[in-house]
Amino acid sequence: MESFNPADCIQDLQFFGEYGDVNPSISDSSTYTFLSAKKMFDTFESNVEGCYLYSRHTSPSNLYLDSALAAMEGTESASVTASGMGAITSTLLQLCGNGDHIVSSRTVYGGTYAFLKNFAPRMGIKTSFVDITKLDLVEAAINSDTKILYCETVSNPLLEVADIASLSKIAKKHNLKLVVDNTFSPLSVAPARLGADIVLHSLTKYINGTSDTIGGVVCSSVEFINSLKNVNDGATMLLGPTMDSLRSASILKNLRTLHIRMKQHSHNAMYLSAKLEADGIKTVYPGLPSHPSHELYRTMIHPDYGYGGMMTIDVGSFDKANALMELMQERNVGYLAVSLGFYKTLFTAPGNSTSSEIPLDEQEAMGLTNSLVRFSIGLDNDIERTYQMIKKCMQELHIL
């Protein structure tokens, strides 16, 4: 694991602009000219190397970001999309059709859950939701129609860890594609190196890191990425979740600092979770020895980037959770907002916002209580100072 450092792979890429610019030129066009009609025909048919046709298919700017993200994930290829959901739904619809079946972790992003539960059945695609940490249950849910095993490296919002290497063995045995959403753990975990066939991200979160855009990516083999872009039956080509070139250029620039940011997010979250747990607050963070998958996760992560910036606490009641979030916002600890990966700490009560698609009884069965507060810990310079601010809020609200 340690010999592969994804940040070095990004660092080693060299993209110049057309005048020797230190950033690549931005392609500001939707369509491209050809010197000969034959070349245009050939490009349309088979992706002639170095030729561009139409920017829904691909654009030079998007290819720079594609290659940087493929390098980061250690996959042959990648394709950026206009959103994380655009990457997820295109991938699932490329691999599945009428009559097919998916085995998915039951704790996935709310939008993914809603798509699998409510939307995919309209196309004849059924999903079984399982506890992804119980490998025997995962295998038992597979049937002869199953095409995909789907999970998140670290799940949203419960921070359950998927044993990707073991899931990959199950997937191979049953001839399934293992699709992993790695949004919570860029650089820390490289799922493809653990056996995942397809790695997805919402770029909206850590990778872009500035909460100023929505974006996504699919990282996989050249064969799968080309199938997504196929003009006759490719999901991204035909459904059209295309990222704009101006935006992919700005995300590429933000990607350059991802390694520094991930170290600080992980450092801060480790510090706060240890302090709050020691204070007696029920805290979930994969870096804490109390986390049920701590030992497994320790073997999965690249030590340089740590256990990530996401943690949850349970403050005992719904009213206390809301009061705490409002007070922390008032004191400028962070913002009461969905999303994650920002420089500022963000907090939400996921039972009532990002996971509201999951029915209440199912939420309770999986430990997703409405007194849970999910934190995306920011890049705070002095995390002890932040801890003291949070502690004061908790004392005033009689949580501590």
Ligand X SMILES: *Cc1c(COP(=O)(O)O)cnc(C)c1O
Q: Does residue number 109 form part of the binding site for ligand X (CB under 6 A)? A: yes
Binder among 65, 78, 80, 85 for ligand X (CB under 6 A)? 85
Binder among 83, 91, 94, 268 for ligand X (CB under 6 A)? 83
Q: Which of residues 43 and 245 has its CB atom nearest to ligand X in the complex?
A: 245
Q: Which of residues 24 and 351 has its CB atom nearest to ligand X in the complex?
A: 351
Shortest CB 372 distance to ligand X, Å: 16
User: What phi, psi does 4 have (nearest 5°)?
Assistant: -90, 115
Binding to ligand X by CB under 6 A, coded x per residue (else -) over 20-59, reads ----------------------------------------
Considering only the stretches 198-206, 256-264, 371-379, 391-399, report the one whose residues sit in contact with ligand X under the rule CB under 6 A.
198-206
DSSP notation for 129-185:
EE-TT-HHHHHHT--TTEEEEEEESB-TTT--B--HHHHHHHHHHTT-EEEEE-TT-
Instruction: Please give the Cα distance from 46 to 259 (Å, whole number).
Output: 36
DSSP state of 3: T
Maximum distance among all Cα pairs of the chain, rounded to whole angstroms: 75
Q: Does residue number 160 form part of the binding site for ligand X (CB under 6 A)? A: no
Shortest CB 159 distance to ligand X, Å: 11
Query: Tokens 């320790």 map to which residue?
Result: 298
Shortest CB 338 distance to ligand X, Å: 8
Binding to ligand X by CB under 6 A, coded x per residue (else -) over 163-182, reads ------------------x-
Q: Which of residues 337 and 400 has its CB atom nearest to ligand X in the complex?
A: 337
Which of 65, 93, 92, 89 lies closest to 79 in space, CA to CA? 65
Considering only the stretches 11-19, 185-193, 201-209, 320-328, report the one whose residues sit in contact with ligand X under the rule CB under 6 A.
201-209
Extract the tokens encoding 83: 């959103």
Which of 140, 192, 182 lies closest to 161 in space, CA to CA? 182
List binders of ligand X among 235-294 (CB under 6 A).
none
Binder among 6, 111, 157, 350 for ligand X (CB under 6 A)? 111
Binder among 90, 188, 202, 242 for ligand X (CB under 6 A)? 202
Q: Does residue number 152 form part of the binding site for ligand X (CB under 6 A)? A: yes
Q: Give me Rg for the CA atoms of the chain.
A: 21
Q: Which of residues 162 and 383 has its CB atom nearest to ligand X in the complex?
A: 162
Residue 385 CB-density burial (10 A; 0-12 exposed, 13-18 middle, 19+ buried) = exposed
Binder among 55, 127, 156, 220 for ligand X (CB under 6 A)? 156
Distances (CA, A) of 277 to 9, 127, 143, 182, 194: 36, 36, 42, 26, 31
At position 281, the amino acid (one-letter code) is I
Binder among 60, 186, 216, 286 for ligand X (CB under 6 A)? 216
Q: Does residue number 84 form part of the binding site for ligand X (CB under 6 A)? A: yes
Q: Does residue number 309 form part of the binding site for ligand X (CB under 6 A)? A: no
Shortest CB 99 distance to ligand X, Å: 26
Shortest CB 363 distance to ligand X, Å: 17
Query: Which residue has its beta carbon closest to ligand X?
Result: 84
Whether residue 265 contacts residue 379, with contact meaning beta carbons closer than 8 Å, is answered with yes
DSSP notation for 218-255:
EEE-HHHHHHHH-TTT-HHHHH--PPPHHHHHHHHHHH
* Residues of this chain that bind ligand X (CB under 6 A): 83-85, 109, 111-112, 152, 156, 181, 183-184, 202, 204-205, 214, 216
